[in-house]
Structure 1
Amino acid sequence: MKESNVQTELNVSGMHCANCAISIHKYLENNGAKDIYVDFASDEVKFSEIPLEQIPVLVKGIESLGYKVIEGKDKKPSFWKSIEFKFLCCLIFTIPLWSHMFTDLPILHDPYIQLALCVPVYIIGFSYFGISAFRSIWNKMPNMDVLIFVGSTAAFSYSLIGTYYNLGHDYQFYETCATIITLVFLGNVLEKRAVTKTTSAIKELVKYQDIPAIKIEDDQEVEILAREIKSGDILKVNSGNQIPADGDILEGQAWVDESMLTGESVPIEKLKYDAVIGGTLLTEGNIRIMATKVGSKSVLYQIIQLIKDAQSKKPPIQKFGDKVAAYFVPIVVTISFFTFFITYFIAQLPLQQSLMNAIATLVVSCPCAMGLATPTAVMVGLGRAAKKGILIKGGSTIEEMSDLKQMVFDKTGTLTTGDFNIKAIQTFGIEQSQVESIIAQLESYSSHPIAKSIRKQLKEIKSYRIIFKEVNEIKGKGIFATDTNGNNYSICNAKLGEKDYSNRYDLALTINGVVIAGIVLEDQIKPYAKELIQYLKDKGIRPILLSGDRQSKCERTAQKLGIADVYWDKSPEEKLEILFKLKKNGPTAMVGDGINDAPALAAADVGISLGDSTHIAIQSAKVVLLSNDLKSIEKLLKIGHHTLLTIKQNLFWAFAYNIVAIPLAAVGFLGPMLAALSMAFSDLIVIGNSIRLRFKKIK
């Protein structure tokens, strides 16, 4: 059986710009790979849907493009093979070569000295840009190196011919060749370092996976690393230390700062049997925990993978930029050819001037800026959101959020606290204490917010304990159980029994189909709920309440919050049907708890899961809010808006730069050296604007 759905990870060296990443991405895409993620800054390449036996073929294909697949994630090329070293070598020879323009030293004006200084730079440039250019053309995917190599080779060849035939100073452009190569190397170095800053959010999270831990083994304390922890290990965590793994508290109590996950800076009290998350900080107290989830099963690992996967999902706006970049190199080469033809044969400019204009046209163009415009902004936007406890699944989600027309809310646990107070229990022919004990015992089988709230208020009494042989929870309906004597119990929505009690009660407790108690619950509006609804209205987004609760409660909640559109008494299936109808009116977001609302979350244009980062929430929703704070939704929309704005600014600059710079170079207003400098820094402007999003004050 072919394992084609397994994700493959490769470490690929030799990528030095966004255009390199695009070339590899296009190659993998043409060969049937899916979920492709290529990051030239970290040398990471990921893809899926390729059978294991075909991986070696793809590896050879990537290497045929001019890159090197390195075995082992931690193996990195040495400094002597790095782009930084190549830049320094070129700089040493280029400075004296370039300085002849500002000095009268005869030795620097000697053409053979200039040739000697230029040759090492050209050889380094050929080994780096030239080989890559030839391979990209051979594979029918010309990259930016074609432009650099053709431009520098034209200047070198023209100068070499002038030196051989002793044609004089007008034929000496060695400094042009060397400066082009050196400045492009400089641009690549700065670009790679700048792009690395956009991925800092992930790197900060990864650091949490490699923290020290104290393992209790045979009553002895042993220091190990977090990566060595196994499920079931007993760990000691002291005040001021980071919790090394996901686990449950066995002894002690503590206050834990979970801000690195939720963005909430206020520490949370943790007691015996409470769950803790690896990477969070124990600010006060001492505890012993049993590790439950380690390695790829940990919450932190899943979050890191979620962010990485999100970065690989391109928004539609990026696909447009990628298409343009793919055809960019052939177009620029054509423009350069016509520039030379027109200026020399039609305008009858001198040969050297025509050649310099053509070279400048090649060198000034910058497809990398278009390639970097979207992914750098998405990386920073996703990272900023993650720091606030907001996990966004991909750049496409960011774009979808900008077009939202409606936002649908579940009520219980979303707009309301989910911490229900039992307002009243009406019993029918049975003791109050016995009813409370049965209710507490049945609700212990559910993780629903209502069940959790009820269990806090009611206690199970041993004398009334019932031994159940079968218990089933049907989402949206209730809990159904059978005891060892064959009696049937249920605690469910009050309207589901033989007689509808929903006009008086929220829940009904039955034994063998007979209602023995009715329960009235009351819920509290969440902090900031009213402000969020008003914010949505101000932004032209229609808020809608869609709940399984009864009419009176839904209308009361909607009235308090100012929501005009209300749906009540809806099952998960009915919620799904309503959501499909609403989507016909425009892009729609759904906000729910990620459990009962999972189908609706998955079907919405943007599903937003509020609350704990449960597995089903991560699978169903496009956005996971690790905190239960409704203000996170406002932050989400603002970060999404500013990220999309940054993408548009970047693309505008990338297109505007090329539209203006290429004609200027073609008519001779930009020389090759100035063209190389402006090309190198056009990338940095795009990256700098993306990094600005990281620190930008969002009101």
Structure 2
Amino acid sequence: MTITKRFWISLIFSLPMLANMILMPFGWMLPGGDWTQLALTTVIMLVATGPFVQSAWSSFKKHHSNMDTLVAIGTATAYLYSIYAMATQQPVFFESAAFVTTFVLLGQVFEERMRNNASNAVEKLVNLQAKDAEVLRGNEFVKVPLAEVELNDVIRVKPGQKVPVDGVIVKGSSTLDESMVTGESMPVEKSVDDAVIGSTMNSTGTFLFKANKIGDQTMLSQIVDLVKKAQNSHAPIQKLTDKVSDIFVPVVLILAILTFLTWYVFLDASIARALIFAVSVVVIACPCALGLATPTALMVGTGRGAKMGILIKNGEVLEAVNDVKTVVFDKTGTITVGKPQVTDIVGDQQQVLQVAASLEESSEHPLAAAILARAKTATIAALPVDDFKAIEGKGVSATIDGQTGFVGNTKLLTTAKLSDELEQQAVKLQNEAKTVVVVGVADEIIGLIAIQDMPKPTSKAAIAALKSRGLKTVMLTGDNQRVAQAVADQVGIDDVIADVLPGDKAEQVQALQATGKVAFVGDGINDAPALTTADVGIAMGSGTDIAIDAGGIVLVKNDLRDVDRALALSKKTFNRIKLNLFWAFIYNVLGIPVAAGIFFAIGLTLSPELAGLAMAFSSLSVVTSSVLLNKAKITSKVQPA
């Protein structure tokens, strides 16, 4: 039976006893008197309180105690004593057992609703998924259910439709709204060879794409899976809470016995009054709020992160973030774009680019792709060439317009030489850690092209934000020292560790851990060991699957500025956990003396039913505190562009 049903049964059967309490001073009595109260309370004890008793008994058999132990003992004591009181014609308090059960269940109903609300961010993502897809079958497009889409299917997406699964555009272009997955509000331009994400909304054009991830492998499915796992995980601080609860329950039971003995034996109170104080102690001390403090905040924090495009995998990450002293970055694909780009052209741009593009059109070298991309941007068409030759380690040559053209490094030069002016330009560009290729025709050098893997536009702001938090920043790369230092200077990195083999990255992270906890940010297969070794592994969303699996935090938008936002969100969530635990502890510490009757002389007491109500609102306050994390301001140090 659900908690909600148990609550309504308990409430309905408690209301007649509530009416009896209110109207008794006016001469109205519940028909059947104590026998009716016994019948009503018995139903509540069997249906609504039963699960508490079963849980307490299961824990007892394992030599443990839990929150349900206090509820079970408190209600059972009140119930059984009232039966004894009926037999000896003394005042009964069946209503205490009934009301305590009702108010405890009320707190759990609130908790359940808050949990459901906290999970809505994930469920909304699931509901946004497309239901079908237009798949190319033979020579025509056929609409099929999403479950029938297969890998490498060619799918058509029209304006206003959702992208069914993940893939790569093979024809056409469009503008897509990816906010429901990445949290990025601005539309994104997409064309051939660009990746598209399932469940995002197509805005303007029609395009065809090839499916490369379906079912549970799509980004949306992985996001949902990661967030659900995170919401069910435990932060290490929760282990301390569990240990405290394990000791706290027996201590409370001892305090309740001492309270009873003090009032009955030493203060000469009636057995009924002494028992009321003892039961009140048991009920008010129930550490339900303590148990809710961590999981509810964790659930809300990870849910909010999902909406921001920041996936926090577990509670351990949240706690580790608070002590991070150093943030280490991979270079290629993390700080830099990950693709070489033409940065400078020395000489006649039209002529230099046309010759270079014509010769490199047949080359498979990564630098050739950069030159061809720049020529395409400048709308410069390649000319036909003959006798193409790739000269290993030097460059390429071919016949163009009847003359021998060449593109490569200085090792390619035989009779041609760089002029003093071009020599100075080449040295200047090389000192900026750029790769310089020479372009020539008929033994005459006509210009230079500088190529570099450029830092992402957001990298400098991201590094500055982390440094403003007092964090040390380090670049860890396999590139040579000169290239790495040049990139580090551009973005503001503190220290550079260069010429590191892929297998040695984890060892470098371990060395840095000697001075404090380390966060590592990376995206490649070779980054996986370092991501796992670091106290906090942060994987870029565009990275390899193995890197994403190894990271404790995944940045879906592939924006380095989200490193700072992830740290800010993690700290805010963990601080909310600590705030919740503080108030839960304070509530129990302050409530027990009042319930024990220490302030009875000044008229300040708590009956069991009022103690139950107070406990319910304590749990509600902690859950509300966690839910308010959705509205809390996440203070990022990233300066607006």
| TM bucket normalised to smaller | 0.7 to 0.9
Q: Which amino acid aligns with 2:58?
A: R
- Seq. identity, %: 38
- Worse-matched range after superposition: 205-214 or 540-549: 205-214
| 2:294 maps to which of 369, 374, 377 | 374
Closer, same or farther: CA 533–282 of 1 in aligned 2, 3 Å: same
Indicate the residue corresponding to 2:131 in structure 1.
211
Closer, same or farther: CA 467–561 of 1 in aligned 2, 3 Å: closer
Q: Which amino acid aligns with 2:608?
A: P
Equivalence map 1:128-277=2 (5 Å): 128-167=51-90, 171-209=91-129, 211-215=131-135, 217=137, 223-277=143-197
Indicate the residue corresponding to 1:695 in structure 2.
631
Structure of larger gyration radius: 2
1:114 to 2:37 alignment: yes
Indicate the residue corresponding to 1:356 in structure 2.
276
Indicate the residue corresponding to 2:568 in structure 1.
638
Q: Which amino acid aligns with 1:686?
A: V
Indicate the residue corresponding to 2:619 in structure 1.
683
Closer, same or farther: CA 538–192 of 1 in aligned 2, 3 Å: same
Matches of 1:305 and 1:466 in 2, distance apart?
Answer: 51
Matches of 1:295 and 1:466 in 2, distance apart?
Answer: 46
Matches of 1:644 and 1:244 in 2, distance apart?
Answer: 36
Q: Which amino acid aligns with 2:54?
A: I
Superposition deviation, residue 451 in structure 1: 8.2
1:88 to 2:8 alignment: yes
Superposition deviation, residue 251 in structure 1: 4.1
Matches of 1:98 and 1:307 in 2, distance apart?
Answer: 44
Indicate the residue corresponding to 1:652 in structure 2.
582
Matches of 1:494 and 1:388 in 2, distance apart?
Answer: 49
Closer, same or farther: CA 504–338 of 1 in aligned 2, 3 Å: closer
Indicate the residue corresponding to 2:415 in structure 1.
none
Closer, same or farther: CA 564–150 of 1 in aligned 2, 3 Å: closer
Indicate the residue corresponding to 2:374 in structure 1.
457
Superposition deviation, residue 532 in structure 1: 3.1
- Worse-matched range after superposition: 653-662 or 530-539: 530-539
1:673 to 2:590 alignment: no
Q: Which amino acid aligns with 1:687?
A: V
Indicate the residue corresponding to 2:352 in structure 1.
none
Equivalent residues of 2:520, 2:536 under 8 A apart: yes
With CA pairs under 8 Å and 6+ residues apart, which has the higher RCO, 1 or 2?
A: 2
Indicate the residue corresponding to 2:443 in structure 1.
none
Deviations along 1:174-218, one digit per CA (max 9) or x if unpaired, are 211111111112111111111122222221222234634444556
What secondary structure sits across from 2:515 in the alignment? coil
Superposition deviation, residue 250 in structure 1: 4.4
1:441 to 2:377 alignment: no
Equivalence map 1:286-365=2 (5 Å): 286-365=206-285
Superposition deviation, residue 685 in structure 1: 1.3
1:582 to 2:582 alignment: no
What secondary structure sits across from 1:441 in the alignment? coil
Equivalence map 1:259-658=2 (5 Å): 259-418=179-338, 420-423=341-344, 436-437=360-361, 440-443=363-366, 453=370, 456-457=373-374, 520-658=450-588
Superposition deviation, residue 508 in structure 1: 9.0
Closer, same or farther: CA 222–550 of 1 in aligned 2, 3 Å: closer
Matches of 2:388 and 2:240 in 1, distance apart?
Answer: 64
Matches of 1:615 and 1:479 in 2, distance apart?
Answer: 35
Superposition deviation, residue 523 in structure 1: 4.9
Matches of 2:372 and 2:291 in 1, distance apart?
Answer: 55
Q: Which amino acid aligns with 1:693?
A: L
Superposition deviation, residue 569 in structure 1: 3.8
Deviations along 1:531-565, one digit per CA (max 9) or x if unpaired, are 33333233221122333444444434434444442
What secondary structure sits across from 1:142 in the alignment? coil
Matches of 1:256 and 1:311 in 2, distance apart?
Answer: 30
Unmatched 5+ residue regions in structure 1? 1-80, 444-449, 472-477, 481-490, 496-500, 510-516
RMSD, matched Cα: 3.6
Superposition deviation, residue 219 in structure 1: 6.2
What secondary structure sits across from 1:264 in the alignment? coil
Matches of 1:603 and 1:442 in 2, distance apart?
Answer: 34
What secondary structure sits across from 1:648 in the alignment? helix
Equivalent residues of 2:356, 2:371 under 8 A apart: no
Equivalent residues of 2:359, 2:388 under 8 A apart: no
- Worse-matched range after superposition: 389-398 or 417-426: 417-426
Superposition deviation, residue 287 in structure 1: 2.9
Matches of 1:598 and 1:421 in 2, distance apart?
Answer: 30
What secondary structure sits across from 2:203 in the alignment? strand
What secondary structure sits across from 2:524 in the alignment? coil
Closer, same or farther: CA 312–567 of 1 in aligned 2, 3 Å: same
Closer, same or farther: CA 173–452 of 1 in aligned 2, 3 Å: farther
Matches of 1:623 and 1:657 in 2, distance apart?
Answer: 34
Closer, same or farther: CA 434–683 of 1 in aligned 2, 3 Å: same
Matches of 1:202 and 1:134 in 2, distance apart?
Answer: 36
What secondary structure sits across from 1:597 in the alignment? helix
Equivalent residues of 2:320, 2:535 under 8 A apart: yes
What secondary structure sits across from 1:314 in the alignment? coil
Matches of 1:549 and 1:638 in 2, distance apart?
Answer: 31
Indicate the residue corresponding to 2:47 in structure 1.
124
What secondary structure sits across from 1:662 in the alignment? helix
Deviations along 1:455-484, one digit per CA (max 9) or x if unpaired, are 62378988679899xx9xxxxxx999xxxx
Closer, same or farther: CA 133–433 of 1 in aligned 2, 3 Å: closer
Equivalenced residues, count: 578
Matches of 1:230 and 1:635 in 2, distance apart?
Answer: 36
Equivalent residues of 1:613, 1:625 under 8 A apart: no
Closer, same or farther: CA 366–465 of 1 in aligned 2, 3 Å: farther
What secondary structure sits across from 2:216 in the alignment? helix
Q: Which amino acid aligns with 2:46?
A: I
Indicate the residue corresponding to 1:5 in structure 2.
none
Equivalent residues of 1:214, 1:237 under 8 A apart: yes
Superposition deviation, residue 265 in structure 1: 1.4
Equivalent residues of 2:342, 2:449 under 8 A apart: no
Matches of 2:207 and 2:628 in 1, distance apart?
Answer: 41
Q: Which amino acid aligns with 1:369?
A: A
Deviations along 1:36-76, one digit per CA (max 9) or x if unpaired, are xxxxxxxxxxxxxxxxxxxxxxxxxxxxxxxxxxxxxxxxx
Superposition deviation, residue 434 in structure 1: 7.2
Superposition deviation, residue 519 in structure 1: 7.1
Matches of 2:194 and 2:247 in 1, distance apart?
Answer: 57
Q: Which amino acid aligns with 2:614?
A: S
Q: Which amino acid aligns with 2:360?
A: E
Matches of 2:494 and 2:211 in 1, distance apart?
Answer: 48
Deviations along 1:595-635, one digit per CA (max 9) or x if unpaired, are 44333333222222235153122123222212232321221
Closer, same or farther: CA 164–326 of 1 in aligned 2, 3 Å: same
* TM-score, structure 1 normalization: 0.74
Equivalent residues of 1:258, 1:264 under 8 A apart: yes
Q: Which amino acid aligns with 1:268?
A: V
Deviations along 1:345-374, one digit per CA (max 9) or x if unpaired, are 223222111101111111112333222211
What secondary structure sits across from 1:405 in the alignment? strand
